[in-house]
Amino acid sequence: MHLHILGICGTFMGGVAAIARRAGHTVTGCDADVYPPMSTQLEALGIGLTDGWDPSQLEGVAGGADVFVIGNVVSRGNPLMEAILDAGRAYVSGPQWLAEHVLFDKWVLAVAGTHGKTTTAAMLAWVLDDAGLDPGFLIGGVPNDFGVSARLTDSPFFVIEADEYDTAFFDKRSKFVHYRPRTLILNNLEYDHADIFPDLAAIETQFHHLVRTVPGKGRIVVNGGEASLARVLARGSWSEVERFGLAEVPGNGPGWTIAVDGGILLGGAAQGTLAFGQAGRHNQQNALAAIAAARHAGVPVAVSLAGLASFGGVKRRMEVRGTVNGVTVYDDFAHHPTAIAVTLDGLRRKVGGARILAVLEPRSNTMKLGSMKDALPGSLAAADRVYCYAANLGWDAAAALAPLGASAAVHRDLAGLVEAIAAEAQPGDHVLVMSNGGFGGIHARLLARLAAGR
């Protein structure tokens, strides 16, 4: 089968492309502004890439395509999509193609939630791999232990990051309703994606659609401390349910709980102690969910704990990009106020009283709409200094961050932002850069500027 993938350079669609190529299909694709690293990764797999949406692709590289796989970056009015529709060519969404051609005969372990999906899915895949189960996976980031975001194996097990964002312009259900997991982690749930969801209730409805797809012999591993997830399950649940969470949060017992020291209990019985290199209580909770899900697939808790002890983390999740003249620069994907807060908490627990300089690019669609701007000061409170890059915002970042007083600064010029951070940074400082995009290569630029000295 020849697939031509529209929007191939997105993390999810690029993963679909890699999996399809591994399955023996011919794969080509296109996207706007094709660039590394995804472009080079795909080309290394023998996948031909076209830059842009020119309809001439139908007469050229995509002329012999059996089906067009459409990413959710594509909307009506896209010239290539319009040509596909006019020509009556076969098309399908990425999640549907994956479900029908890869996941249909797999034991799918899906990780859903507003926060922590990528890290938890990476932990789960690593635990299964370390236990010898050789899982396939498709994750929205690159686990350091694997070096790739997606792979297909002959194993019956497949781990997938289950995203609640919509599937395609012609399918407004959340992506995850296509996956039909046997094991489902529900990590947390709060309002996000203001560009497509009007309120939290709308997202809860999508999560319940997901719950409806889990078989009776399947298992839902759910954060017991989340009222939103309790409401989701209260609408109806037909599967086994295990609850997990932090020991100090009401509602988490008598299922899986984890204490600050890493001690794990299940139904009040000690299961062992988690010891690994990931900072923050949120990562302990992510690991607990992975342990519970892996147990459903037959992995003993002790084996999961041994695997997690060597877990190498995920790129762009508190990833150290370099240390220059005593200043350490981190890259993190956090872009929602809750994720920002827990990321800062994790770094604070790691560095103690050292200064933290938080650098934020509010880049997601939700952030650009300004629907969460009032929550930003509280989420950034643990930082000693806050820098916000506001070049593309339609709301007043300075006004939103005013509660932080003189500790916050807003910049609309990237070069000026780098200079300001470099001027402030002192040996022993930790610079935490947070964005869900490339942020103009600020990490390398800042490290170079720090190396140049004052």
pLDDT tens digits for 297-347?
999 999 999 999 999 888 777 788 899 999 999 998 877 888 888 889 888
Q: Could you confirm whether domain 319-452 is CATH 3.90.190.20?
A: yes
Query: In angstroms, what CA-CA distances link 325 with 113, 252, 329, 415, 424?
Result: 39, 44, 11, 20, 13
Q: What is the DSSP string of 114-137?
A: SSSHHHHHHHHHHHHHHTT---EE
Q: Is the pLDDT reported for residue 109 higher than 90?
A: yes
CB contact at 8 A, 218 and 106: no
Could you tell me if 194 and 369 are in contact, meaning their C-beta atoms sit under 8 angstroms apart? yes
SS3 417: helix
Average pLDDT score over residue span 74-96 = 97
Q: Residue 437's pLDDT band (boundaries 50, 70, 90)?
A: confident
Its CATH architecture, for the domain 102-308, is 3-Layer(aba) Sandwich (3.40)
Q: What does the alpha-carbon distance between residue 15 and residue 21 come to, in Å, rounded to a whole number?
A: 10
What mean pLDDT is predicted for residues 173-184? 96
| Integer Cα distance of 342 and 350 in angstroms | 12
**Rounded distance, CA 163 to CA 203, Å?**
11
pLDDT of 35 > 70? The answer is no
Would residue 192 be called left, alpha or beta, if left means φ above 0 and alpha means ψ between -120 and 50 degrees?
beta
Residues 2-93: name the CATH superfamily. NAD(P)-binding Rossmann-like Domain (3.40.50.720)
Cα Rg for the chain, rounded, in angstroms? 22
Check the CA dihedral 186-188-189-192 and report its sign: negative
Cis peptide upstream of residue 95 (ω within 30 degrees of 0): no
pLDDT digits (tens, 9 = 90+) for 281-290: 889 999 999 9
Identify the residue whose tokens are 């259900």: 173
Which pair of tokens denotes residue 347? 């770094």
> What pLDDT is recorded for position 93?
97
Query: From the DSSP assignment, how many helices (H) and strands (E) are in the chain?
Result: 15, 23
Domain spans of the chain, in order of start: 2-93, 102-308, 319-452
The arithmetic mean of pLDDT across residues 254-262, rounded, is: 89
Residue 37 has pLDDT above 80, yes or no: no
d(CA 425, CA 443): 14
Share of residues in the chain with pLDDT > 70 (%): 98
CA–chain centroid gap for 338, Å, is 14
Q: Are 239 and 220 in contact (CB under 8 A)?
A: yes
Burial 186-220 (b: 16+ CB within 10 A, else e): bbbbebbbbebbeeeeebbebbbbbbebbeeebbb
Give the DSSP H/E element, type plus range, for residue 228: helix 227-234
CA distances from 319 to 82, 139, 142, 295 (A): 41, 17, 11, 29
Write out the E strands in 311-360.
Answer: 319-324, 327-332, 356-360
- Residue whose tokens read 């969460």: 372
Phi, psi of 224 (to 5 degrees): -75, -10
Query: Each residue of 372-429: pLDDT tens digit?
Result: 788 888 889 889 999 989 887 778 888 888 898 989 888 998 899 989 999 899 999 9
Structure tokens at 5: 């993938």
User: Residue 175 pLDDT more than 70?
Assistant: yes
**Nearest 10 degrees: CA dihedral of 91, 94, 95, 100?**
60
Please give the Cα distance from 357 to 330 (Å, whole number): 10
Q: What percent of the chain has pLDDT over 90?
A: 61
Q: What is the per-residue pLDDT for 295?
A: 97
DSSP-derived 3-state class of residue 311: coil
Q: Is-above-0.95 flag for pTM?
A: no
Would the pLDDT of 446 be above 80? yes
Position 251 scores a pLDDT of 65
Find the mean pLDDT for residues 30-51.
Answer: 83
Most confident listed range (132-136, 383-387, 435-439): 132-136
* Tens digits of residue pLDDT in 143-154: 889 988 899 999
Decide which of 201 and 115 is more confident: 201
> What tokens appear for 24 in the block?
């023996």
User: End-to-end distance of the chain based on CA atoms, in angstroms?
Assistant: 58
Q: What is the mean pLDDT of the chain?
A: 91
